[in-house]
């Protein structure tokens, strides 16, 4: 059995890049690294668009999305935005939208991809771009 995995290195600008060990995987289309989301009165919107991998050896079946804080503040929380997010079999992308009212600061948007690869379920981190959510009160 062969397991494909992707190892990620996060660069200084927060972009995540796959290393030479990367196997077939989907691609995060949006948001790009460095995305700034402005949440006024808790009304910010985070949109995620992920291109599924479909090949002869396997396919993306779903993704999980987490906001992992970049700062080492022990009071910061990692937020689970969704598990097992998918789209119809004939759709090539997974599009989801989240309210960001509770999260303020700098985060890595961690995408875990689940694939059915040669009949075996595998999971791996496919992306982790840095994003920033600024929160301002409604005036």
Q: How does pLDDT run across 22-57, given as a tens digit for each residue?
A: 578 999 999 999 999 998 888 889 999 999 999 998
CATH of 42-136, one of 1.20.1440, 2.60.40, 3.50.4, 1.10.3470: 2.60.40
Q: How does pLDDT run across 69-82, given as a tens digit for each residue?
A: 987 666 678 999 99
Number of helical (H) and strand (E) elements in the chain, helices listed first: 0, 12
pTM of the model: 0.80
Domain boundaries, the chain: 42-136
Alpha carbons 31 and 119: distance in angstroms, whole number: 31
Alpha carbons 58 and 8: distance in angstroms, whole number: 21
- 103 vs 10, more confident: 103
Give the whole-number percent of the chain exceeding pLDDT 70. 81
């Amino acid at each position: 059995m062969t397991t494909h995995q992707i190892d990620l290195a996060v660069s200084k600008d927060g972009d995540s890049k796959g290393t030479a060990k990367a196997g077939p995987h989907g691609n995060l289309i949006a948001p790009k690294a460095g995305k700034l989301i402005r949440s006024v009165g808790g009304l910010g919107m985070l949109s995620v668009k992920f291109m599924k991998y479909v090949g002869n050896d396997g396919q993306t079946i779903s993704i999980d999305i987490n906001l992992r804080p970049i700062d080492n503040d022990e009071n910061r929380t990692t937020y689970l935005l969704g598990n097992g997010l998918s789209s119809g079999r004939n759709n090539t992308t997974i599009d989801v939208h989240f309210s960001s009212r509770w999260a303020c600061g700098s985060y890595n948007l961690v995408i875990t991809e689940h694939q059915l690869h040669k009949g075996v379920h595998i999971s791996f981190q496919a992306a982790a771009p840095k994003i920033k959510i600024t929160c301002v009160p409604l005036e």
